[in-house]
Amino acid sequence: MKLILVSAILLFYHNHCVNSYAIIDVISDKMNQFSHSIKVAFKSFRVKMKDFFFPDMINKKETDLPLTNYRKSRTNKAFSDFVDEMAAESETESPEYLTLKSDPTALMSTPQLATLHGKRIESHIVLTKDGYFLTLHRLISPCRRDGDKSYCNNETVLLHHGLLGSSADWILLGSDDSLPYILSNLGYDVWMANARGNYYSRGHTSKQVDSTDFWKFSWHEMGYYDLPAVIEYMKTVKNTSSKINYIGYSMGASAFLVLLSSLPQYSSSFKLAIFLAPLAFLSNTEGPLRILRAMAFNPPMHLLKLLGNGEFIPKRKVPHWISNKYCQGPELFCCNPLFFFAGAIPSDTEYLDRSFLARLMYHVPAGGSTNTVLHYAQLIKTGKFHKFNYETEEYPLSQISVPIALISSTDDTLATVADVLRLYFSIQKPIDHYVIHDKNLNHTDFIWGHNAAELVFGKVVDFLTTGLYFNTTRINEV
């Protein structure tokens, strides 16, 4: 500005015939030029900054769009990449899938399967504070006999299934190798939870199961509402204040972490927790679930139509044109939503007999919400363990005071060893991080693998009996 005024004054003295109006015109013109140069500089800076933060934005016209519109266009592009913009082919069930349906055990419920296995079981209905009806299954434990004496150890164990699972998952291996039966035979009082949304927990005091409002939950609500209701009910039925041993597989671990980080008063209800392939930090997760991270916070409507705008894939089958693109393995498993998104296609299929396959395919997935899956996709994107749709609201894991043992596998691409190790260092009282090395144990094999009893369940029993006295300096490897 000073430079402009000085130039004008010099011009005036140099040419006396220039009147005051001419001086004003010169000054105004110079100021306009200066203002225009500033605008151009800031516009160029804005474009460069957007190019820096969003390097994949090729169309320069998009740089003038509001950020919300840009995110929407990015999300739509991610969806197009996900489905490869291919038209859906006609969907028909494979002959192999139809054949399995005829197996006598395929459509049996948890109580029916347990009865088939020679076990006695009870069903209990629990009501949560927000109106959901949940089903609890409880094994009636046969007390062990030592000569003429009969006794139980009076310990209680609560098992919580994984993503899209149910209580049936725990007993699909049969009467000899299933974890609940192993624990029951040792005298434990075994309870199996069913999270809201699965086959056994689809009731509500006012919401219809076919409404989108019923499905507005993720695993946050399972930890915040479901587990407190289950714990209070168990205490009432048992009429005791004795502490509970908790075993959480996959999502079952997520719910437990939500419970104790949000409602720390429940810490006194637990003696010990054991996590099998826990889902918390997911920075290193691989597989199709990782593809959804770009759409996790702002899913486009066409993605919700594909995944389900409420219930997750209600038809329980991944379309062929998606599974063929992202999945390598038998079609029977690639089209199953849980195996597909978990990236856990069985590698040792020779160990899977027809009856087991029938039970597996018709009990898995047992149902769940789309938000539950998107919540995990958000964790993959952010690298944090936070509330649904709120990246900045992380769960305070360091406040959890219950002793926790963790078991992971080097062959699990969903709950990776690195991410489980990060969880280990985030909690207050970790007992051990037990790593199973190179045994082809993927994410779903933790409860269904033909060698799960040997590799996993034996260690679970070890933690239950000696976990609170475990020397963490021991080598935690198989």
Question: Which residues are annotated as catalytic?
Answer: 250, 443
Contact, 158 vs 144, CB < 8 A? no
What is the spatial distance between Cα 62 and Cα 73, in angstroms, rounded to a whole number? Answer: 9
Tokens representing 23? 């001086």
> How far from each other are the two terminal CA atoms of the chain, in whole angstroms?
76
The secondary structure of 208-239 as a DSSP string is -TTSGGGG---HHHIIIIIHHHHHHHHHHHHT
Helix (H, G, I), strand (E, B) or coil at 51: helix
Contact, 328 vs 310, CB < 8 A? no
Taking the CA of residue 124 as centre, how many other CA atoms within 13 Å lie in the half-sphere pointing to its CB? 22
Taking the CA of residue 61 as centre, how many other CA atoms within 13 Å lie in the half-sphere pointing to its CB? 1
The amino acid occupying position 406 is L
Pick from 478, 463, 473, 474: nearest CA to 403: 463
Q: Residue 137: CB partners within 8 Å, gap ≥ 6?
A: 110, 111, 114, 121, 122, 123, 124, 167, 191, 192, 194, 200
User: Which residues are 430's β-sheet partners?
Assistant: 404
The secondary structure of 163-221 as a DSSP string is TT--GGGGGTT-TTT-HHHHHHHTT-EEEE---TTSTT--EESS--TTSGGGG---HHH
